[in-house]
Amino acid sequence: MSLDPNGNPDFVTEFEDELSRAPAVPRLAWTRRTPGRGLGYRGLLWAGSVVFAAVLLAIIATLLYRSGDAWSTFGIGFVWGKSWDTVRSVFGALPFIVGTLVTSAIALVVAVPVGIACAAYLTEMAPRWLRPFGVLVDLIAAVPSVIVGLWGLLVAAPVFSRDVEPFFKKVPGVSWFFHGTPFGVSVFLAGFILSIMVVPTIVALTRTALLGVGVAEREGGMALGATPWQVVRKIVLPGARSGIVAAVVLALGRAVGETIAVTLVIGNSYSIPHSLLAPGATLGSVIVNQFGDSSTIRHEQPALIALGVILLVIGLLINGGGQVLLRSRFKQAQAK
């Protein structure tokens, strides 16, 4: 084998010469950045953002304007006012804020562990023939809320008053929250109905987050001798934490804003509930119950619209807090 002056074999030199004389490969047309490409999509995106922002601002401005009489009459004390007296035209929002937050908290306490466990089982442990039945969980979200509320009123309420609520009255540690007479329709039943309505949201989004965890992480855990349950608990669930947080935030937003189903089962008492067995009301339920006749009572219609302002603020705070939490977790993941 002969060598060239540089010490390389002849065939290497010939190959380099041929390569240098080869024509340059043209770039594919779709990789070239042509002027104006994507401007239509960006313009449509900006237009949609502007329209959405304009609609949101219009809603906020309308609510603030129509509720101005309530804010000017009762001041900021309207938020923590405890009375809703149509005879004396004295109104406060605190009983309904408490009812909204308590029912939403009950819904999350029930729905989050059930939803995450169901999603983890369907994604990681269920037999292959059983996994398509996960669609049945998603179909619950298609049931109208008034139907769920009627079911809660006609079927669940008698069961709760006869069996469920007396049982919790006897459980040590939680019986303090369940004192009083079990009526069936109560804050506790409203929270349970809300949990049924938000479980599909948690299951669907959590399944998507779990499927996004890489196969290599699962196989690595199994290779180290971890059981399937340990893989799910220590690898898959922590890897999908951001998606699970998003699912919980979205479910909380749904629970806070739900109206019709809650109105049917909560009892609609306009006072702060002293027990989870007591009837109560939420911001949405009192608006639905009272708005039709509010024009005949002084200050009541602006007060009801002010409740809508408070409900909107709570929803914005929940979604904003969720975005901040997700971004902080994303930055922490990048830092690692």
* 87 token code pair: 């005879």
Q: Looking up tokens 């179909």, which residue turns up?
A: 139
pLDDT of residue 308: 92
Cβ atoms of 125 and 232 within 8 Å: the answer is yes
List the beta bridge partners of residue 267: 280
pLDDT of residue 227: 81
pLDDT of residue 16: 55
Q: How far apart (Å, rounded) are the C-alpha atoms in residues 82 and 231?
A: 50
pLDDT of residue 334: 61
Q: Higher model confidence: residue 172 or residue 9?
A: 172
Report the pLDDT averaged over residues 102-131: 89
Residue 57 has pLDDT above 60, yes or no: yes
Query: Angle 110-267-313 (CA atoms, 0-180°, nearest 5)?
Result: 65
> Whole-number mean pLDDT of the chain?
83
**Confidence (pTM):** 0.81
Cβ atoms of 118 and 266 within 8 Å: the answer is no
Residues 6+ apart with CB under 8 A from 84: 90, 91, 92, 95, 270, 286
Single-letter amino acid, residue 192 = F
pLDDT of residue 24: 55
Cβ atoms of 63 and 69 within 8 Å: the answer is no
Q: How far apart (Å, rounded) are the C-alpha atoms in residues 199 and 251?
A: 8
Q: Higher model confidence: residue 4 or residue 316?
A: 316
Domains of the chain in sequence order: 62-335 (1.10.3720.10)
Residue 134 has pLDDT above 70, yes or no: yes
Q: Which percentage of the chain shows pLDDT scores above 70? A: 86
List the beta bridge partners of residue 84: 91
**164-180, pLDDT tens digit by residue?**
888 888 888 888 888 88
Task: For helices 94-120 and 300-335, give the axis angle rounded to 10 degrees.
Answer: 40
